[in-house]
Amino acid sequence: MNSINRVVSKFESIFKNSPLLISSPGRINLIGEHTDYNDGFVLPAAIDKNMIFGFSKNNLKKLRIFSMDYDQMFECNINEIQKSDVRWANYILGVIDQFQKAGYSMKGFNFVFTSTIPIGAGMASSAALECGIAFVLNTLFKLAIPISDQVKYAQKAEHTFAGVFCGIMDQFASMMGKKDHAIKLDCRSLEYDYIPVKLEEYQFVLCNSGVKHELVDSEYNTRRNECEAGVVVIKKDYPEVSHLRDVTLNMLNTIRTEIPPAVFKRCKHVIEENERVNKACDALKQENMYAFGELMYESHSGLSKLYEVSCDELDFLVDFTRNNANVLGARMMGGGFGGCTINLIKRSAKKSFIKDITKAYKDHFNIDLECYDVEIKDGTSIID
Ligand code: GLA
């Protein structure tokens, strides 16, 4: 049974009526890592790994949510939303809380969901959940909330109920994705362009390191603070600067001795990574996948050596591909300290690529590598 049928059948058996259905996808990020909260550029895309939600109003004041993956029911009063000890429920509660704070009123509803997005793999399963619930609430209660506001509420939910001060990339990509296109998003203005991704004889493969180092959330927030610390100093000479987006390498070099070396490195990565997003878009438009792949490797080096959010496992997976002529580019993807690498490889070499890298990884770390093909799909949408 596919995941849609499983949700329908579970919903009918618990709630005795038929649900409306939506799907909300995970995302990949082609390039532009740790640039979003610096008001910079990113290039993500929604993928064919998603969450499926079944839902309907109930005539109670109750929120009744069943997670099929945790095999767990969560209930509460819709007018008494607060953080819960049930971790997965917080992503949902956080969005409801944001909607309520913005003055939207909602009644009780029933909700069943499942996911095909691997958890902790850096494919933004939490954003898929947040965007999915935003879409559900907007649909169910006819709230007519502009889509960009839904995205912002979903992001804010992650700040308030999950405690991670993420940028807007994941939620934007999950909600706004378009089949066979990447989204070049300006995280300051939220203006965006859909860039066609014509892969032809190439494809993206994700390699899941299978690790999620504990520091991921705390280090994420630390990096954000380091970027802001850099901006505070740069501002003294360049008052027009509000985020690293406004800073050039020349400007950064003029204050090099005034900031700690770590802050210098963080800022340098962000400035260079922003430039790489622009170059990567040009490469995609010219269908120059080799140039694109080269930028992926450069991005990884910046993330590993300057931003210091990689780890031995991710570095190993990227380094292993460097001398493989069938791999055009590879880099860690997402927040870092674990999760996946994204690899641009020749389609014809997929089998041997997966076989070789899986063996090497097992030999080195004794971890079974999981690899996923990904296809670029539409964002959050109703299932007919
Ligand atoms: C996580 C965050 C995003 C972004 C990336 C790094 O996925 O949720 O907002 O900052 O890390 O690029």
Could you read off the pLDDT of 335-381 as tens digits, one per residue?
A: 999 999 999 999 999 999 999 999 999 999 999 999 999 999 999 99
pLDDT band of 215, cuts 50, 70, 90:
low
Q: Rounded to an integer, what distance in angstroms lies between the CA atom of residue 311 and that of residue 313?
A: 6
Question: Rounded to the nearest whole angstrom, what is the distance from the C-alpha of residue 215 to the centroid of ligand 1?
Answer: 15
Residue 213 has pLDDT above 80, yes or no: no
Q: How far apart are CA 293 and CA 48, in angstroms?
A: 22
Ligand 1 site, residue 28, Cβ cutoff 6 A: no
What share of the chain has pLDDT > 70, as a percent? Answer: 99
Quote the mean pLDDT of the chain: 97
Ligand 1, atom nearest to 168 Cα: 9
Please give the order of strands across the beta sheet that includes 370-373.
327-332, 338-346, 202-212, 370-373
Alpha-carbon dihedral of residues 232, 234, 240, 241, nearest 10 degrees? -70
Pairing relation of β-strands 109-115 and 62-67? parallel
Give the integer Cα–Cα distance in Å for 133 and 143.
13
Does the structure show a pLDDT above 90 at 17?
Answer: yes
Q: Distance from the CA of 11 to the center of ligand 1, in angstroms?
A: 33
List Cα–Cα distances, 313 to 180, 207, 210, 226, in angstroms: 30, 11, 9, 25
CA angle centred on 249, ends 243 and 254, rounded to 5° = 95
Ligand 1 centroid to Cα of residue 2, in Å, is: 30
Question: Residue 79 and residue 97: Cα distance in Å, rounded?
Answer: 9
Decide: 55 in ligand 1 pocket, CB within 6 A: no
**Cβ(34) to ligand 1 under 6 A?**
yes
Say yes or no: CB of residue 166 within 6 Å of ligand 1. yes
Distance (Å, rounded) from C-alpha 199 to C-alpha 202? 5
CA of 164 to the centre of ligand 1 (A): 10
Q: Using one digit for the tens of pLDDT, what is the confidence trace for 57-105?
A: 998 999 999 999 999 999 999 999 999 999 999 999 999 999 999 999 9
Contact 291, 298 (CB under 8 A): no
Which pLDDT score, from 0 to 100, does residue 163 have? 87
In angstroms, rounded to a whole number, what is the distance separating the alpha carbons of residues 190 and 71? Answer: 37
Catalytic residues: 170
335 lines ligand 1 (CB under 6 A): yes
Q: Do the beta carbons of residue 267 and residue 292 sit within 8 Å? A: no
Instruction: Quote the CA–CA distance of 204 and 344 in Å, as a whole number.
Output: 5
Q: Which atom of ligand 1 is nearest to the CA of 126?
A: 8
Polymer length of the chain: 384
